[in-house]
């Protein structure tokens, strides 16, 4: 029972961790493309519904194909209901106008994203991540991977919001909740996988960690509620007044020094009048940057800053895990995975998938052209004839294994039918030449093949 309770708490913490950056993503899409018309906390209900639906279907023990189909149908139905509730709440459910509006938004997708499409896309993303969370094993490696990926996504989204000047709501609270959920889930996952640890860890370490997390969250909330814009303006006003008093004091001290007796307008002796200011040449026309170039430079600068921040957080995380490893280095039967190894393995896997997708995309026209090429009728006839031969041998108790080539299977057939070795070799060679060498047989060869097959199918395998 304790293990089940820990798993429930761990799953909740990991969902909260992932929900922080998903909330930021949906909030950003809502502000940029939907004009703030969507209810972001209400949209996150799709994430919870997807998780609950996937867990329920898995508990029922239905086949995987049925579960996938029901997940897709459920995601579409619940997302459409969310569109109806949030954007067309004034219309009855039976009214087809809101469905028509969704169809029009889909048809005009190339001219811009309407709020309906933003909600559909956001709902699809939330539903996919919800059912993905339901299938993840709640292990320490999973929590570390989710923390790394979530941290990268949260930083990217915060930088995008900063670059586009989008005011995110409750940013401090989101960041605090993200790191609190990360620390809590890491501690629970470590506790589940390491039962035989030191007395400090078994007795008080988890409680101390929870108290530390609570203190950090409460302190952050207190600072966030106390340090308001009005308080900052008051502090700036106080600093300005203090600087004014210092300037007045300096002016008073300077006034104590005796001044030379000069009539108004008379210059000091021996001092030449100030020369006329020299106008500097305008170089802006030689170094003019177009708006596209400036936008590209801003984007590059943002990417550079993101890289610096990722390195910064990477070093902090690495030192944190090194400290944890030194604290629990005396534990027995515990394996520690290198943070750099796990992180770079995930990054390499991601880049391999992206590269594979790009290669497939580049090869798509050639594959499409190859599919469109019409195969000669003679080659099609030979392939069909060989398939009939395979079906006949399978019915006779000698199926062709999937790992065997046609020539390897020929050796097996010749052992079972030694009297027809030449006929089997002739049929196999013609099939291999047509199938892999694209050699089109003549009409006489095709007739001979048909006669050979007609003779073979009346024989019996030994």
Q: What is the pLDDT of residues 396-409, one digit of tens each?
A: 778 888 778 888 88
Query: Residue 161: its pLDDT value, please?
Result: 80
Give the domain range for residue 186: 2-139+165-195
Query: What average pLDDT does the segment 303-332 reach?
Result: 68
Query: What average pLDDT does the segment 351-370 reach?
Result: 72
Say how far apart CA 296 and CA 292 lie, in whole Å: 6
pLDDT surpassing 80 at residue 21: yes
Residue 68 lies in a domain: yes
Residue 131 lies in a domain: yes
Look at 65 and 338; give whichever has higher pLDDT.
Answer: 65
pLDDT surpassing 60 at residue 292: yes
Residue 353 lies in a domain: no
Residue 416 lies in a domain: yes
Residue 87 lies in a domain: yes
Assign 214 a pLDDT band (cuts: 50, 70, 90). low
pLDDT surpassing 80 at residue 281: no
Look at 237 and 317; give whichever has higher pLDDT.
Answer: 237
Structure tokens at 324: 């944890």
Say how far apart CA 271 and CA 54 lie, in whole Å: 88
In contact, 21 and 156? CB cutoff 8 Å = no
Contacts of 27 (CB under 8 A, 6+ apart): 40, 168, 169
Query: What average pLDDT does the segment 225-247 reach?
Result: 73
Query: What average pLDDT does the segment 257-273 reach?
Result: 53
pLDDT surpassing 50 at residue 203: no
Say how far apart CA 209 and CA 178 lie, in whole Å: 16
From residue 261, how far is each of 254, 264, 267, 369 by CA, in Å? Answer: 16, 10, 11, 98
pLDDT surpassing 70 at residue 225: no
Look at 353 and 127; give whichever has higher pLDDT.
Answer: 127
Look at 80 and 315; give whichever has higher pLDDT.
Answer: 80
Task: Output DSSP code: residue 276.
Answer: P
Weakest mean pLDDT among 52-56, 200-204, 224-228, 319-323: 200-204
In contact, 115 and 35? CB cutoff 8 Å = yes
Query: What average pLDDT does the segment 22-29 reach?
Result: 87
Say how far apart CA 71 and CA 44 lie, in whole Å: 17
pTM passes above 0.75: no
Residue 306 lies in a domain: no
pLDDT surpassing 50 at residue 201: no
Closest CA to 299 of 162, 148, 168, 169: 162
pLDDT surpassing 70 at residue 424: yes
Say how far apart CA 413 and CA 428 lie, in whole Å: 11
- Side-chain-side CA neighbours of 378 within 13 Å: the count stands at 15
Say how far apart CA 259 and CA 276 lie, in whole Å: 27
Taking only Cα atoms into account, the Rg of the chain, rounded to an integer number of angstroms, comes to 37
Query: Residue 336: its pLDDT value, please?
Result: 52
Look at 75 and 2; give whichever has higher pLDDT.
Answer: 75
Three-class SS state of 346:
helix
Residue 289 lies in a domain: no
Instruction: Give how many domains the chain has, as a whole number.
Output: 2
Positive or negative, the Cα torsion across 383, 385, 389, 390?
A: positive
**Cα-flanking dihedrals φ and ψ of residue 401, to 5°?**
-65, 155
Say how far apart CA 460 and CA 121 lie, in whole Å: 61
Residue 32 CA to chain centroid, in angstroms?
20
pLDDT surpassing 60 at residue 333: no
Residue 253 lies in a domain: no
* Beta-carbon count within 10 A of 190 CB: 21
Query: What average pLDDT does the segment 445-454 reach?
Result: 83
Say how far apart CA 342 and CA 33 lie, in whole Å: 36
pLDDT surpassing 50 at residue 252: yes
Average pLDDT over the chain, rounded to whole?
Answer: 75
Query: Residue 194: its pLDDT value, please?
Result: 63
């Amino acid at each position: 029972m304790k293990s089940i309770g820990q798993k429930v708490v761990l799953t909740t913490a990991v969902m909260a961790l992932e929900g922080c950056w998903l909330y930021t993503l949906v909030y950003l899409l809502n502000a940029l493309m939907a004009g703030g018309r969507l209810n972001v906390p209400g949209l996150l209900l799709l994430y919870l519904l997807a998780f609950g639906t996937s867990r329920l279907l898995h508990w029922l023990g239905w086949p995987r194909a049925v579960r996938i189909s029901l997940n897709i149908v459920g995601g579409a139905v619940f997302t459409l209901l969310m569109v109806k509730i949030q954007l067309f709440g004034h219309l009855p459910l039976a009214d087809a106008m809101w469905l028509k509006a969704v169809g029009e938004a889909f048809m005009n997708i190339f001219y811009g994203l309407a709020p309906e499409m933003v909600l559909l896309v956001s709902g699809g993303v939330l539903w996919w991540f919800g059912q993905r969370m339901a299938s993840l094993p709640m292990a320490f490696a999973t929590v570390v991977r989710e923390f790394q990926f979530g941290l990268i996504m949260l930083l990217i989204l915060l930088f995008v919001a900063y670059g586009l000047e989008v005011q995110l709501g409750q940013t401090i609270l989101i960041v605090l909740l993200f790191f609190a959920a990360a620390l809590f889930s890491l501690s629970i996952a470590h506790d589940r996988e390491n039962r035989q640890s030191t007395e400090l860890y078994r007795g008080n370490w988890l409680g101390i960690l929870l108290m530390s997390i609570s203190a950090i969250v409460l302190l952050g909330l207190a600072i966030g509620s106390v340090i308001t814009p009005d308080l900052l303006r008051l502090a700036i006003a106080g600093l300005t007044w203090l600087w004014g008093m210092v300037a007045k004091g300096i002016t008073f001290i300077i006034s104590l020094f005796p001044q030379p007796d000069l009539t108004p307008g008379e210059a000091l002796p021996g001092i030449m009048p100030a020369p006329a200011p020299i106008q500097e040449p305008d170089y802006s026309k030689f170094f003019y940057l177009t708006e596209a170039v400036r936008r590209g430079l801003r984007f590059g600068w943002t990417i550079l800053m993101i890289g610096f921040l990722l390195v910064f957080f990477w070093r902090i995380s690495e030192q944190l895990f090194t400290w944890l490893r030194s604290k629990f280095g005396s534990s027995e039967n515990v394996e520690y995975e290198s943070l750099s190894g796990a992180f770079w393995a995930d990054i390499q896997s991601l880049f391999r998938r992206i590269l594979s997708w790009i290669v497939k995309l580049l090869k798509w026209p050639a594959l499409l052209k190859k599919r469109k090429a019409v195969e000669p009728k003679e080659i099609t006839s030979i392939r069909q004839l060989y398939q009939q031969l395979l079906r006949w041998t399978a019915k006779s108790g000698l199926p062709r294994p999937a790992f065997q080539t046609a020539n390897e299977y020929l050796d097996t057939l010749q052992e079972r039918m030694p009297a027809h070795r030449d006929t089997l070799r002739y049929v196999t060679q013609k099939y291999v030449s047509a199938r892999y060498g694209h050699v089109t047989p003549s009409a006489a060869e095709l007739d001979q093949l048909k006669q050979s097959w007609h003779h073979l199918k009346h024989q019996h395998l030994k």
